[in-house]
Amino acid sequence: MRKLLIYAEQGFTVAALLIYSGAILTLVLSGGAGQDEVVEYDSSLIRIIFFLIYAITLLLIVLRWKKTLYVFVLSKDIFLYSLVMLAVVSITWSFEPSTTLKNSFTLISSSLFGLYFVSRYSLKQQLYLLAWTFGIVIVLSFIFALALPKYGIQSDLGKPLWRGVFTHKNGLGGRMVTSSIVFFILGYQIQRRSWLFWGGFSLSILLLLLAGSTSSVFNLLILILAFFAFQIWRWPYQVIVPTLIMMATISQSLYFWLSNNAGVLLNSIGKDTTLTGRTDLWPLVIDMIWKHPWIGYGYGGFWQGWDGESAYVWLNAGWTPNHPHNGYLNICLDLGLLGLGLFLLGFWRSYMQGFAWVRSSNTALDIWPLMQMTYIFLASLTESTLLESNSLTWILYVAASFSVRMRHERKIKS
């Protein structure tokens, strides 16, 4: 009976991670609509499913309240707590209080799932559950693209590109970056049946290429290099220093080369120098940020279409984005420079503690939190999922932050 309950809980965790990843539900309910199609559909099923996830998560936390409270108190992640609380209290100045109230509730619920995830499962178990989740995503993405191309192929971008079980090809690309890293770390560390993990890694890269998400391909290449760079951090100091100097020199040379040849490089891979309109959008967003620089427009209070402050951006941009395609600008819109400062301070502290963790450990599994935070930093330069509620990105950031904070505090106490 106890084993059955454990399997049931793991099944719930995988199902919740799948839903939080943004897979399947919205794509199916919208009838496979393209990015420029305005389709109204009944989202009550999505709300019911998320409510069930919130309720079950809260129940599991209550059942293990001592362990959960231990993790919550031990981590002392004051910047993370303050950021979430700022989102909640922003209802008092929000330009759309009802949206802020709803989004704040879902942000708290998502954060609680991240807390549950890290307090219930070891790092190895977390990676195994993520591997199961992404394994399901990979299989279903192939099924949707090959057997149900109306859903699995995005054909409104000039050429057909795979989106699998997501509403946009960048959604598939972004998730496959995380999937690739999960399978790469497991394949690198676990010898038993490692072919399964390397198979998952290969299929993740294949889907990434079929999605045609250029930024995701670059992010994955950087992350693979970062993985081996983090391994170097474990070497003796007398070897680390000259190695890091050499890497810094090479990186600086590449930076100057890319700065001078960015246009040629982007054109060679079929991209324009505006990064698909992003560089034209960002100045307009910054204009609006400076109108309310310190505390923003309230969590979720800015992007309200033609009826909200986003009308200025829509009118001048010539298209109708629902986010600024930059996670840091999105935080500034929602919670101002105060919110961005809280996030950056918390991120920096957790990142440095992640380095300390890697330095004192000897397995590839222990690099996962640092890899995940690195990916979030990179992806947030062109995407806006950084502080997004009901998002796998935010949940994994919360889990990574708690993981390194717990290890740091335990090391201090020992």
**pLDDT of res. 260:** 57
The tokens describing 69, both together, are: 């409270």
| Cα separation, 240 vs 238, whole angstroms | 6
Q: What pLDDT was estimated at residue 90?
A: 96
Position 172 scores a pLDDT of 94
Q: Residue 159: its pLDDT value, please?
A: 79
Higher pLDDT, 263 or 123: 123
Which two structure tokens, joined as six digits, stand for 102? 């709803």
CA–CA separation, 280 vs 267, rounded Å?
A: 17
Instruction: Give pLDDT, residue 185.
Output: 96
Tell me what pLDDT residue 265 has: 52
Amino acid type, 245: I
Alpha-carbon Rg for the chain, nearest whole angstrom, is 21
- What are the two backbone dihedrals, phi and then psi, of residue 108, each rounded to the nearest 5 degrees? -60, -45
Look at residue 154 and give its three-state secondary structure.
strand
Two structure tokens written together for 52: 């069930």
Please classify residue 44 by burial: count the beta carbons closer than 10 Å to its beta carbon, then call 0-12 exposed, 13-18 middle and 19+ buried: exposed
Q: Work out the percent of the chain whose per-residue pLDDT is above 90.
A: 57
Q: Does residue 271 register a pLDDT over 70? A: no
Q: What is the pLDDT of residues 359-400, one digit of tens each?
A: 888 888 999 999 999 999 999 988 888 899 899 999 999 999
Average pLDDT, the chain: 87
- b/e burial code for range 323-336 (CB count within 10 A of at least 16 → b): bbbbbbbbbbbbbb
Higher per-residue confidence, 147 vs 255: 147
Q: Render the burial of 270-293: b for 16+ CB within 10 Å, e for the rest.
A: eeeeebeebeebbebbeebbeebe
Residue 296 CA to residue 288 CA, distance in Å, equals: 9
pLDDT for position 296: 94
pTM score: 0.92
Q: Is the pLDDT of residue 106 over 90?
A: yes
- pLDDT digits 0-9 by tens, 207-262: 999 998 888 898 999 999 889 888 887 766 666 667 667 766 766 666 555 555 55
String of DSSP letters for 264-319: HHHHHTT--TTTTTHHHHHHHHHHHHTTSTTTTT-TT-S--GGGSTTHHHHHHHSS
Inform me whether the pLDDT recorded for 130 exceeds 70: yes
- Residue with the larger pLDDT of the pair 257 and 59: 59
Q: In percent, how much of the chain has pLDDT > 70? A: 86
pLDDT tens, residue by residue, 353-367:
998 888 888 888 999
Q: Dump pLDDT digits (tens) for 155-209.
A: 766 678 899 999 989 999 999 999 999 999 999 998 888 899 999 999 999 999 9
Highest mean pLDDT among 56-70, 131-145, 265-279: 131-145
| pLDDT at residue 379 in the model | 92
* pLDDT per position as a tens digit, 24-43: 998 988 887 766 566 677 78
1 pLDDT more than 90: no
pLDDT at 293: 94
Q: Is pLDDT at 330 greater than 80 in this prediction?
A: yes
- How far is CA 217 from each of CA 151, 210, 221, 354, rounded to the nearest angstrom? 23, 11, 6, 24
- CA–CA distances in Å: residue 324 to residues 46, 171, 196, 280: 25, 16, 38, 10
Provide, for the chain, the percentages of residues in helix, strand and coil under a 3-state DSSP scheme, each rounded to the nearest 5. 75, 0, 25
